Amino acid sequence: MTPPRTLLLPWAGLGRMSRRTIAAVLGAALSWSSVASAEDEETIVTHGYNFYGALSYPADYPHFNYVNPDAPKGGEISFSALGTFDSMNPFSRKGRGGALSTIMYESLLGEGVGGTTAPADVYAEYYCLLCERLEYDKGRNWVIFYMRPEARFSDGTPVTAHDVKFSQELILEQGLRSYAEAVSQRIQNIEVIDDHTIKYEFTPGISRRSLIEVVGGMTVFSSKWYEETGARLDESRLEISPGSGPYMVESIDVNRRLVYKRNPDYWGADLPFNKGRANFDRIRVEYFGDENAAFEAFKAGEYTFRTEGNSRQWASAYDFPKVNNGSIIKKELPDGSPPTPTGFVFNLGREVLQDRRVREAIALGFNFEWTNESLQFGLFQPRASFNQDTPLMADGAPEGAELEFLQSLGDLVPREMLTEAARVPHVSSAERLLDRRNLRKAMALLDDAGWTVNSEGRRINADGTPLRLTFLLNSAGSSTLRAVVENFLSNLDAMGIETVLEAVDASQYTSRERDRDYDLVYDQYIPFLSTGGGLQQFFGSEAAEFSVFNPAGLASPLVDEIIEASQRMETKEETDVTLIALDRALRHEFFMIPVWYNDSFWVAYYDKYEHPEEIPPYTLGQYDFWWYIQDKADALRAAGALR
């Protein structure tokens, strides 16, 4: 039972770390050149960007190393989505966006189909797509993108620098507030030099981190369409602007089906960036009201590719004829990215949850060991870190360069953080759901926090107000997750805490989650193997009140200072020290009860698809670089496995 490993954002930088699944280490070969500008200032001209300069792929790369450049084009891949959708505009807080509703758009620096990582075998490297090359000064005070004149939107109109500037200003004016406020402070000026050349100048005196990749990863819209229609980016709507990507919308059947088709006139089909990628003629999404209906539909062949997120189903529900006779392939594929930091998130805006002792007591009610053995077939491992199982995971007490860095922050750092090991989850008994040792600890913490037990066994404060918590849950989600939450809440009930599980439909869930109308929610943050301005959206104080990416509403001066410091560092080694400290600080702040993780993708699909022998580390890539085998599809139909 795992959530999606990617979170779609309308921009790059740290957003790219979510749109692009988190990757690993920097590449090797240096592939940029220095030239003299008119002011005799050293500048860098390159086909891609990496803050540290090194790029793994040279300017004349024929294709990405992991793709099959001869993969056939054709066929359809289909998958399921749960709940509902009422909009095709994922850039607004209003409405619930349809699955893959950014698939038709591109940016100056490219990404994978559906917002995934491309290239998927390197970390924090960005390669030109709508641009041919970029140029920037050594101090990263400005960047110029030289665009490809042949780039076209799906309506045949050219993609120009005017569209890029329009898109940037549109998102700053009408896009998500947390993004707009962060980026507007970093961009001093945007200049269209000519139809296919655009220059960004950055604000003096700020960190140069995530500036070039942020503007290079900006979604490019058609200014012509927006001007002609009068549409806004902050509204819920089904009408979409033409994109420049390989796919376009074929049909929309609200709450039932979405179909995307290949653009037969896609301008970039032969670029090295796209070789062996975007191989399907159609990508179809089937919507279902709940998980059981979706699984039965997969068995019946109503859709053909499934990434399994329910451990119970993975362990016990795939023993049916189509799997046994080989019509459906069931396999685990390696996932090289850090696991998404999921867990039970506290709404720190609630007064009762601002008391750390109360949060500690609540956490002690979660029994991972029993949950994993009894409900999840022992398939998971406990997660502790935001950068689990990576070199940037804080471990033990701080020492060496990390200790020196934390000491340099003075009184912002709690004394115990300097001497104690990084926070790890408590251990519970796997034998019984209610671990009495942890129950006693929790009861003592609640007593100490002023929540005493009344004659009815309920926790009340000095005013007689009961301790009552609401857990928000998406009713369309996993039945196993619901069972996990119900057992967790039963342990809280044993502590005298009154709990309410509010399972609501997908539309209500989205609305209430955005408004933080809950005490506890199962949600996620991001791992981080690099720094950037987007960290403030997830963990920073400035956007804490309204950021849709910070479900806890975390606002910590210590976290703010560590993020700022990470962006001032000049070398990877120095940056890594600050990010280890950030992991330690986030765990110390304790705004989430970490749950579990899995280091593999669980996939099941009808045997008409193939993938590269080695999946790249940082994305599964089923829409991106898998391909369709017509002969296998014909055989499945002949055997009656598919319609």
Residue 425 has pLDDT above 80, yes or no: yes
Span 357-388, pLDDT tens digits: 999 999 999 999 999 999 999 999 999 999 99
Record: fold of 257-337+599-638: D-Maltodextrin-Binding Protein; domain 2 (3.40.190)
The answer to whether residues 507 and 322 touch, using CB atoms and an 8 Å cutoff, is no
Token digits of residue 487: 């057992």
pLDDT tier for residue 543 given thresholds of 50, 70 and 90: confident
Residue 285 and residue 259: Cα distance in Å, rounded?
A: 6
With tokens 């046994």, the residue in question is 324
The answer to whether residues 475 and 290 touch, using CB atoms and an 8 Å cutoff, is yes
Across the range 461-484, mean pLDDT stands at 95
Residue 65 and residue 85: Cα distance in Å, rounded?
A: 36
- What mean pLDDT is reported for the chain? 91
Contacts of residue 117, defined as CB under 8 A and 6 or more positions apart, other chains included, come to 20, 21, 23, 111, 616, 618, 619
Token digits of residue 158: 């050219």
pLDDT tier for residue 533 given thresholds of 50, 70 and 90: low
What is the model's pLDDT at position 586? 98
Residue 37 has pLDDT above 50, yes or no: no
Strands (E), 27-170: 33-36, 42-46, 48-49, 76-82, 126-127, 131-137, 142-147
Span 187-236, pLDDT tens digits: 999 999 999 999 999 999 888 888 999 999 999 999 999 999 999 999 99
The answer to whether residues 534 and 211 touch, using CB atoms and an 8 Å cutoff, is no
Across the range 532-561, mean pLDDT stands at 91
The answer to whether residues 416 and 585 touch, using CB atoms and an 8 Å cutoff, is no
Residue 198 and residue 153: Cα distance in Å, rounded?
A: 18
Residue 615 has pLDDT above 50, yes or no: yes
- Residues paired with 30 in a beta bridge: 54
Residue 397 has pLDDT above 90, yes or no: yes
Residue 343 and residue 331: Cα distance in Å, rounded?
A: 26
Which has more confidence, 67 or 32? 67
Residue 19 and residue 9: Cα distance in Å, rounded?
A: 6
What is the model's pLDDT at position 268? 98
Burial bucket for residue 343 (CB in 10 Å: 0-12, 13-18, 19+): buried
- Across the beta sheet with 342-346, what order do the strands follow? 498-504, 468-474, 520-524, 342-346, 592-594
Which of 368, 396, 417, 389 has its CA nearest to residue 590?
A: 417
Which of 581, 583, 557, 352 has its CA nearest to residue 470?
A: 352
Phi, then psi, of 359 in degrees rounded to 5: -65, -40
Which has more confidence, 36 or 634? 634
Residue 113 and residue 371: Cα distance in Å, rounded?
A: 35
What is the model's pLDDT at position 385? 98
The answer to whether residues 614 and 66 touch, using CB atoms and an 8 Å cutoff, is yes
Residue 400 and residue 307: Cα distance in Å, rounded?
A: 42
Span 113-164, pLDDT tens digits: 988 889 999 988 999 999 999 999 999 999 999 999 999 999 999 999 999 9
Do the two domains 16-69+85-242 and 257-337+599-638 of this chain adopt the same fold? yes
Across the range 80-84, mean pLDDT stands at 94
Which has more confidence, 433 or 54? 433
The answer to whether residues 499 and 471 touch, using CB atoms and an 8 Å cutoff, is yes
- Class for the domain spanning 351-381+423-517: alpha beta
What is the model's pLDDT at position 529? 86
**Domain 16-69+85-242 part of CATH 3.40.190.10:** yes
- Residues paired with 79 in a beta bridge: 285
Which of 338, 321, 322, 438 has its CA nearest to residue 123?
A: 338
Percent of the chain with pLDDT over 70: 94
Across the range 262-280, mean pLDDT stands at 98
With tokens 């609630």, the residue in question is 350
Q: Determine how many CB atoms are found less than 10 A away from the CB of residue 296.
A: 11
Residue 371: helix, strand or coil by DSSP?
Answer: helix
Contacts of residue 598, defined as CB under 8 A and 6 or more positions apart, other chains included, come to 2, 335, 339, 379, 380, 381
Residue 525 has pLDDT above 80, yes or no: yes
With tokens 């959530």, the residue in question is 3
Burial letters 380-390, b for 16+ CB under 10 A, else e? bebbbbbbbeb
Residue 364 and residue 385: Cα distance in Å, rounded?
A: 18
Contacts of residue 22, defined as CB under 8 A and 6 or more positions apart, other chains included, come to 123, 337, 338, 526, 527, 528, 529, 618
- Residues paired with 592 in a beta bridge: 345
Which of 260, 132, 140, 127 has its CA nearest to residue 207?
A: 140
pTM over 0.85: yes
Q: What share of the chain is helix, strand, coil (3-state, %, to 5)?
A: 30, 20, 50
Residue 252 and residue 32: Cα distance in Å, rounded?
A: 44
Residue 244 has pLDDT above 90, yes or no: yes
Ramachandran region, residue 429 (left: φ > 0; alpha: ψ -120 to 50; beta: rest):
beta
Phi, then psi, of 546 in degrees rounded to 5: -130, -5
- Helix or strand run (H / E) with residue 305: strand 305-307
Phi, then psi, of 576 in degrees rounded to 5: -60, -40
Which has more confidence, 345 or 534? 345
Residue 625 and residue 126: Cα distance in Å, rounded?
A: 18
Domain ranges of the chain: 16-69+85-242, 257-337+599-638, 351-381+423-517
What is the model's pLDDT at position 643? 82
The answer to whether residues 144 and 135 touch, using CB atoms and an 8 Å cutoff, is yes
What is the model's pLDDT at position 40? 38
Any idea what DSSP says for residue 599? S
Residue 338 has pLDDT above 80, yes or no: yes
Residue 460: helix, strand or coil by DSSP?
Answer: strand
pLDDT tier for residue 12 given thresholds of 50, 70 and 90: very low
Residue 521: helix, strand or coil by DSSP?
Answer: strand
Residue 60 and residue 631: Cα distance in Å, rounded?
A: 35
Q: Determine how many CB atoms are found less than 10 A away from the CB of residue 340.
A: 23
- Residues paired with 156 in a beta bridge: none
Across the range 596-616, mean pLDDT stands at 96
Across the range 236-244, mean pLDDT stands at 96
Residue 174 has pLDDT above 70, yes or no: yes
What is the model's pLDDT at position 561? 97
